[in-house]
Homo-oligomer: A and B are copies of this chain.
Amino acid sequence: MALTLDQLNAAAPDEALRLLDGLYEHSPWVVQRALAQRPFATLAALQWALVQSLAAATRDEQLGLIRAHPELAGKAMVANALTAESTGEQSRAGLTHCTPDEFAQLQRLNADYNARFGFPFILAVRGPRGSGLTRQQIIAAFERRLGNPVDFEREEALRNIHRIAEIRLGDKFGVEPELGHRVWDWHEALAQHSDPGFKEQGQLTVTYLTDAHQACQRELVARMRESGFDEVGIDAVGNVVGVYHSAQEAGFAAGPPQGETAPSGGSEPREAGSVGAMRLLTGSHFDTVRNGGKYDGRLGIFVPIACVERLHRAGRRLPFGIEVVGFAEEEGQRYKATFLGSGALTGHFNPAWLDQTDADGIRMQDAMRAAGLPGTLDAIAALRRDPARYLGFVEVHIEQGPVLNEMGLPLGVVTSINASVRHVGEVIGMASHAGTTPMDRRRDAACAVAELALYLEQRAAQDGDSVATMGLLQVPGGSINVVPGRCAFSLDLRAPTDGQRDALERDVLAQLSAICERRGLGHRLERTMIAAAAPSAPDWQARWERAVAALGLPVHRMPSGAGHDAMKLHEVMPQAMLFVRGENSGISHNPLESTTSHDIELCVLAFEHLLNGL
């Protein structure tokens, strides 16, 4: 018999503890302390209490819990001395069927890991989807994590322990994140399309209008059709647009379309008579960076598709239409034209882009025509949306940062997409002999840049929510025995408001000048990018907050450090974003980018809550 929350909430303390027995390996205290927070409205609320319980524990308690875990494919497994839960997990991950080589490799890794960290390697290995790892993936993760700093790895172990508990909890309550699994599978399927040269290496790269990109378009069109969208089409810049009619519109409509709508008109209402129903605009991009992740952008397309599918299956219509756009281009990989997809909807398509050539010399307009698009400015201009007909724009996106992962929270509400500015620069000193130039006679360009790097760090931290990064740093043509005469660097400064960003930039540039002045050095600096902040519309942000709270989760408000399609829509309509936790410290633009079915499910439910509240 599966456990219910009512049972757990009503049980006497000892009984409640027994009901959750085995959740944390040999460590009932984690559950015991969390139970003090009963009653729990949702499983997510219980999990959050468990996260808090472990986070508040002493370092020794945490280490004790970690050390209570068996090694992966270790002595305990061989000796059949695992807990029932661990046995099931390790066996389902195939670890009981290692080849002798794999087994030997795992023993070596176990020994190295233990020697380095003083505790066993812990990885949530179970589950068919959202958590399932092959033996090869387990070994790769093991090797990768061996290089992590000790304190980081301790936290990573605790995160994996929570993930293991999440799956064990599902077993106890007899619930599976079926919605999450379904959306997870959609991501897996879409990730099968990848550009030549990457696909062969198992890497995901989908750049604008390549064959793989067009295959993604076709798959999204099919997915939208299957999910019950009323209108589905590919527009003049290659966006995939699906509309699920409002109750009012559906009353006029003759039924779901039989064929694909003409590309450039896919997002337009079919009848002048249907005007009157407002729409909610949502979506994100399906193109990727080179060797990118499966969720970046795509989550924001699939989550609303899942919501529409649920509405459709339930035969429900809302008082507004839902327009989901899979933006064809956001990353600017093939052409130097970022936010091309969302920019077309706001009327910010730059006509010069059509003549831009890619690395192979193919002009954008020729690439468009080859992909069956008109490739004309007129057709693109027609994509511009009339903001008066839209309620607003919402976007779901994987966080692409470590915050939710570190906090143990599945969802976060975005307060603002940060303003940003970038520079590339160079400090110019005088190269001289490292042996013969006394310290007080040097004009060391690298030391000046070092000072600036440390200032960046300290100045951004002062704001609390600003970030400043020197991602490029190099002494060009440097030699071990030459005092650096030049040092190239970059600046990437971001803050939640334009004013805060400007103050940060002003201080950093003033500091650069002061450092160079004091050291008698020259410098040059080129601003390569500036983007305004896109603060969330307060009422829309509040809708996301209510949706998150309804799941029994605390509301965590955070800025978005990365740019998103919502930045473009922000220029014409109110917008707000919801972030989903990324695994692996939120790594993004990387094949390790990942999320779980559980988190995806919570996101779908939050989106549904927002729809129902409008």
Identify the A interface with B (CB < 8 A).
147-152, 399-403, 406, 418, 420, 422, 424, 428-430, 432-441, 443-444, 446-447, 449-451, 453-454, 457, 460-461, 465-475, 478-484, 487, 490, 492, 494, 520-522, 528, 560-563, 585-589
Contact = CB atoms under 8 A, between A and B. Distances in A.
A588 to B, nearest CB: 6
Nearest to A446: B473
B471 A480 contact: yes
Given A420-B435, A451-B454, A586-B433, A471 B481 contact: yes
A361 B429 CA distance: 38
A588 B433 contact: yes
A469 B492 CA distance: 27
A460 B439 CA distance: 7
> Which of A422, A466, A471, A560 has the most C-beta atoms of chain B within 10 angstroms of its own C-beta?
A471
Contacts of A449: 450
Contacts of A441: 402-403, 406
Given A435-B492, A471-B479, 9 more contacts: A147-B428, A149-B443, A403-B441, A406-B441, A432-B586, A435-B562, A436-B561, A439-B461, A472-B479
Contacts of A151: 520
Contacts of A522: 147, 149
Contact of A471 (B470, B483, B587): B483
Contact of A402 (B399, B422, B437): B437
Closest 5 CB pairs of A and B: A401-B436, A435-B561, A450-B450, A434-B469, A436-B561
A477 to B, nearest CB: 10
Given A478-B472, A562-B433, A454 B454 contact: yes
B480 A422 contact: yes
> Which of A147, A446, A522 has the most C-beta atoms of chain B within 10 angstroms of its own C-beta?
A446
B471 A430 contact: no
A480 B492 contact: yes
Given A440-B461, A475-B474, A484-B473, A435 B467 contact: yes
A469 B435 CA distance: 8
22 contacts: A147-B522, A149-B521, A151-B520, A401-B433, A401-B436, A402-B438, A402-B441, A403-B438, A406-B441, A422-B480, A424-B480, A434-B467, A434-B492, A435-B492, A435-B561, A436-B562, A436-B588, A439-B468, A471-B479, A471-B484, A472-B475, A478-B490
A402 B401 CA distance: 49
A495 B424 CA distance: 36
A297 to B, nearest CB: 14
Nearest to A463: B439
A461 B151 CA distance: 34
B147 A437 contact: no
Given A399-B436, A435-B562, A473 B487 contact: yes
Nearest to A149: B520
A438 B495 CA distance: 11
A414 to B, nearest CB: 11
A480 B152 CA distance: 24
B446 A494 contact: no
A444 to B, nearest CB: 7
